[in-house]
Amino acid sequence: MPLAEPIEVALQVGSALDALGVEWLVGGSVASSLHGIPRATQDIDLVAALQDRHVLPLVAALEADFYIDADMIRGALQCRGSFNLIHLATMTKVDIFAPRGDPLSRLEMGRRRRYALGDAEGRSLPLASPEDIILQKLHWFRKGGAVSERQWRDVLGVLKIQSPQLDLKYLEDLAEATGLARLLHQATEAAK
């Protein structure tokens, strides 16, 4: 799927979140493609600080264009998990994650950066920082048994493209605090 389509869908969902005053960011493969080496992606990962009071207004704002289920959202919020939306016109899946509450997730929202899309409208997306994308991708790589070539390539792509600008102290400190130091070292060496 070309990257333009997921970005348009993310902007539509983001607009609804903005209208509700919900902090959010784009993570996953869309963010790693924008920070690193672009690749096709099959879904969009968002992190959104939703609360119960946002559920019905969010459903009302998106139900004309998306498959969205209020009970699924409430269940995800209760267990700090995720739920998904399906954009009906394109069948693009949007996975929305509640912040996990771990050190990385607590810092990630405050460190998000606006990424200018360079279009005539001057639109931008709030992206997880390159450091946080590296750490999140390493987290999911480890959680998946350290076998996902896509997650690993995404990490290496961000490291290769962003290395001169990375906050290495932050990256190394958080990797140590989250048990990802060994994987970060391996990725840093592989990206050279």
Radius of gyration, CA atoms only, the chain: 16
Are 141 and 155 contained in the same domain? yes
Please count the other Cβ atoms lying within 10 Å of the Cβ belonging to residue 106: 11
What digits encode the pLDDT tens for the residues 85-94?
Answer: 999 999 999 9
26 token code pair: 């784009």
- Mean pLDDT for the stretch of residues 21-41: 92
> What is residue 67's predicted lDDT score, i.e. its pLDDT?
98
In the chain, % of residues over pLDDT 70: 98
Residue-wise DSSP of 43-71: EEEEEE---HHHHHHHHHHHTTTEE--HH
How many domains in the chain?
2
74 token code pair: 């409430």
Are 78 and 149 contained in the same domain? no
- Mean pLDDT for the stretch of residues 121-130: 94
Using the predicted structure, report yes or no on whether residue 104 has a pLDDT greater than 80.
Answer: no
- Mean pLDDT for the stretch of residues 28-43: 89
Are 161 and 105 contained in the same domain? no
Query: CA torsion sign, 181 to 184 to 185 to 186?
Result: positive
Are 76 and 14 contained in the same domain? yes
Are 90 and 107 contained in the same domain? yes
| Structural domain boundaries, residue 173 | 130-191
Cβ-based neighbours of 138, under 8 Å, separated by 6 or more? 151, 155, 175, 180, 183, 184, 187
Residue-wise DSSP of 143-188: HTTS--HHHHHHHHHHHHHHGGG--HHHHHHHHHHTT-HHHHHHHH
Q: What's 119's domain CATH number?
A: 3.30.460.40
What digits encode the pLDDT tens for the residues 43-86?
Answer: 899 999 999 999 999 999 999 999 999 999 999 999 999 999 99
Are 16 and 106 contained in the same domain? yes
Are 30 and 63 contained in the same domain? yes
Are 95 and 137 contained in the same domain? no
In the chain, % of residues over pLDDT 90: 82
> What is residue 100's predicted lDDT score, i.e. its pLDDT?
79
